[in-house]
């Protein structure tokens, strides 16, 4: 079982801006390690601290080159446009074509306190922007047009009702479970 449960749509922690990290210490390193385990078990490419209920500006990722962590990331430049089918661990099972900048320049810190400066293109750029949205309290649903958002909310409500119905205790009579 992963160290953290991933928070999903409807959890208010996902709509709040995360606080800057003031100190990179052992607790933060443990948090990042546990987040990576949670991300891999999900499975996902990235995971922001608010998605596990921690309001800190930190995310973990692995786009195929091994795990990495960014603390207090900032996007300083962006250019181009790229449409791509994007999903989110906090909105499980759903995805939409989202247009985002194709290239970005991102700075932040690693877990040793060293400044990191990254140029990212296409998928890595999208991954960084998606996780930055989580740090700013923005869910993928806010990137949809009005009709897509209405459809998504309808689907999410139906999923929530089905989940609630599946866990509702059923009445029994004489040891038989009634439908």
DSSP conformational letter for 53? T
Residue 165 designated active-site = no
Of 20, 77, 122, 131, the active-site residue reads: 131
State the Cα–Cα distance between residues 52 and 79, nearest whole angstrom: 30
User: Could you give phi then psi for residue 136, rounded to 5 degrees?
Assistant: -95, 5
Q: Which two tokens stand for residue 30?
A: 């443990």
In order, the DSSP letters of 72-139 are EEEEEEEES-EEEEEEETTEEEEEEEEEE-SEEEEEEE-TTS-EEEEEEEHHHHHHHHHHHHHHTT--
User: Could you give phi then psi for residue 90, rounded to 5 degrees?
Assistant: -90, -5
Please identify every residue annotated as catalytic: 131
């Amino acid at each position: 079982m992963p160290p953290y449960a991933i928070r999903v749509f409807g959890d208010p922690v996902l709509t709040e801006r995360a606080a800057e990290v003031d100190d990179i210490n052992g607790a933060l390193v443990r948090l990042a390690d546990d987040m990576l385990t949670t991300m891999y078990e999900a499975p996902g490419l990235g995971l922001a601290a608010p998605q596990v209920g921690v309001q800190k500006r930190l995310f973990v990722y692995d786009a195929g080159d091994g795990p990495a962590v960014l603390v207090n990331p900032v996007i300083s430049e962006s250019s181009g446009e790229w449409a791509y089918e994007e999903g989110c661990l906090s909105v499980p099972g759903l995805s939409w074509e989202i247009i985002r900048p194709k290239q970005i320049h991102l700075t932040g810190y690693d877990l040793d306190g060293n400044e990191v400066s990254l140029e990212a293109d296409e998928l890595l750029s999208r991954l960084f922007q998606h996780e930055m949205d989580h740090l700013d309290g923005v869910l993928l649903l806010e990137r949809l047009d009005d009709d897509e958002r209405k459809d998504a909310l309808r689907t999410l409500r139906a999923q929530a009702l089905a989940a609630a119905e599946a866990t509702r205790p059923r009445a029994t009579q004489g040891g038989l479970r009634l439908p």
